[in-house]
């Protein structure tokens, strides 16, 4: 992974899911937590967004916040929708599933050379997954689905951080 945005002294990472209330806020919170633990806070800009606008302004889903809290992770963000400017500003846009990958790549394609973000699936960094694996949306399931997603996202974010440390 190579940062294309040489104007930024920090590596910027945007996590994206559908509504920005479950998976991407979890990834944002977990990645913040891992970055803080590693003493690298000044080296990263971290945010999250959704491809849809249904939940703009809302806090993360209570089940996502609960599982994060049980692991000592805070989820302070509010839902927002990804914009063209995000693709021009962030070094990496890390998506949770193939549908969001297609939507973000379509946005990026319309921007042409203005889009600097490298768009990747989060599970490409999961040591227990494969490049094509997705983070399942736990929204319509029970609490155990959120714990499973937390574990998956945590593993993936840990590996992502290890790779970005050397960029």
In percent, the amount of the chain with pLDDT more than 90 equals 87
Find the mean pLDDT for residues 143-165.
Answer: 95
Pairing type for strands 11-17 and 44-50 reads parallel
Spatial neighbors of 57 by CB under 8 A, at least 6 apart, are 78, 79, 80
Is 1 among the domain residues? no
Q: Which of 7-21, 24-38, 136-150 has the highest mean pLDDT?
A: 24-38
Is 3 among the domain residues? no
Please classify residue 136 by burial: count the beta carbons closer than 10 Å to its beta carbon, then call 0-12 exposed, 13-18 middle and 19+ buried.
Answer: middle
Is 29 among the domain residues? yes
Is 5 among the domain residues? no
Mean pLDDT across the chain:
93
Is 6 among the domain residues? no
Name the CA radius of gyration of the chain, rounded: 15
For residue 88, pLDDT beyond 60: yes
Question: Is position 137 annotated as part of the catalytic site?
Answer: yes
Residue 99 phi/psi, 5° resolution?
A: -60, -45
Is 73 among the domain residues? yes
Is 4 among the domain residues? no
- Categorize the per-residue pLDDT at 132 as very low, low, confident or very high, splitting at 50, 70 and 90: low
Per-residue pLDDT, 2: 42
Domain of 121, in residue numbers: 11-164
φ/ψ bin of 103: left (φ > 0), alpha (ψ from -120 to 50), beta (otherwise): alpha
- Categorize the per-residue pLDDT at 131 as very low, low, confident or very high, splitting at 50, 70 and 90: low
CB distance 157 to 71 below 8 Å = no
Out of 47, 61, 91, 137, the active site residue is 137
Q: What CATH number is attached to the domain comprising 79?
A: 3.40.50.2300
Out of 22, 23, 63, 126, the active site residue is 23
Residue with tokens 């940062």: 3
Whether the predicted model's global pTM rises above the 0.85 cut = yes
Domain count of the fold of the chain: 1
Question: Is position 23 annotated as part of the catalytic site?
Answer: yes
């Amino acid at each position: 992974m190579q940062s294309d945005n040489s104007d930024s002294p920090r590596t910027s990472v945007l996590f994206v899911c559908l509504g920005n209330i479950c998976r991407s806020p979890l990834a944002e919170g977990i990645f913040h937590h891992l970055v803080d633990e590693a003493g690298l806070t000044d080296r990263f800009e971290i945010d999250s967004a959704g491809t849809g606008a249904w939940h703009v302004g809302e806090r993360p889903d209570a089940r996502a916040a609960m599982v994060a809290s049980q692991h000592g992770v805070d989820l302070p963000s509010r839902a927002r929708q990804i914009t063209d400017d995000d693709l021009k500003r962030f070094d990496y846009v890390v998506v949770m599933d193939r549908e969001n990958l297609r939507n973000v790549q379509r946005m990026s394609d319309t921007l042409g050379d203005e889009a600097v973000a490298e768009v990747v699936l989060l599970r490409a960094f999961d040591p227990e997954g494969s490049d094509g694996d997705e983070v399942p949306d736990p929204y319509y399931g029970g609490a155990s689905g959120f714990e499973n997603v937390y574990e998956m996202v945590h593993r993936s974010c840990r590996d992502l951080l290890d790779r970005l440390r050397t960029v």
